[in-house]
């Protein structure tokens, strides 16, 4: 990598955290935080990764900025959907529209 390139850092959401979410729910980091399933993260972008425990969620629509292949396979394999969010924060978009 040359100058100006930086590794994208993500707040991590482990798949097993999603096991506590009701079947058929749509979840994102904010909703997980509201349910006290994850703690506040210093990273704006969120990535869903496999966890130490088996994923048992069913039919979830999971919104995150990135998914590992194994996490995507587990979510979609249980009838769920992975929604990849844009990597720009909503506040940045609003400023760009206003400019």
What per-residue confidence (pLDDT) applies to 92? 42
What's the average pLDDT block by block, 10 residues per block, for the chain (99 residues)?
72 94 95 94 93 92 97 97 84 42
Q: What is the H or E stretch that residue 82 is in?
A: strand 81-84
Give start and end residues of each alpha helix (H) in the chain. 29-34, 69-77, 90-98
What per-residue confidence (pLDDT) applies to 87? 84
Q: Which two tokens stand for residue 23?
A: 């079947």
pTM assigned to the model: 0.81
What per-residue confidence (pLDDT) applies to 51? 84
């Amino acid at each position: 990598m040359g100058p100006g390139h930086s590794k994208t850092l993500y707040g991590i959401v482990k798949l097993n955290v999603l096991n506590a979410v009701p079947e058929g729910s749509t979840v994102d980091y904010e909703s997980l935080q509201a349910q006290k399933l994850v703690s506040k993260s210093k990273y704006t972008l969120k990535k869903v990764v496999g966890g130490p425990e088996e994923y048992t969620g069913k039919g979830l629509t999971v919104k995150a900025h990135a998914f590992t292949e194994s996490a995507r396979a587990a979510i979609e394999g249980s009838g769920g959907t992975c929604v990849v969010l844009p990597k720009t924060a909503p506040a940045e978009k609003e400023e760009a529209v206003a400019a």
